[in-house]
Amino acid sequence: MDDSRSETRAERSDRNWGELVQELRVAQTGVQVLAGFLLTLPFTARFGDLDGPHRLTYLVAFSLAVLTVCLLTAPVVLHRFLFARGAKDVLVVAGARFAALGLATMGLTLVAVVDLIFGVVVGSGAGHVAAALALLVYAGVWVALPTALLRRAERA
The answer as to whether 135 is a domain residue is: yes
65 in any annotated domain: yes
The answer for 6, left when phi > 0, alpha when psi is -120 to 50, beta otherwise, is left
Give the pLDDT confidence of 96-122 residue by residue, as tens digits. 999 999 999 999 999 999 999 999 999
Whether residue 3 lies inside any domain: the answer is: no
DSSP letter string, 43-107? GSGGGGG--HHHHHHHHHHHHHHHHHHHHHHHHHHHHHHHGGGT-HHHHHHHHHHHHHHHHHHHH
Domain membership of residue 2 (yes or no) is no
For 3, 17, 57, the CA distances from 92, given in Å and listed in that order, are 20, 6, 34
Query: How many domains are there within the chain?
Result: 1
4 occurs within a structural domain = no
Beta bridge pairs of residue 7: 2
Of 36-50, 72-86, 114-128, 129-143, give the lowest mean pLDDT range: 72-86
The domain in which residue 105 lies consists of 9-155
Is the pTM higher than 0.95? The answer reads no
- Evaluate whether residue 101 is within a structural domain: yes
| Residue 2 pLDDT > 70 | no
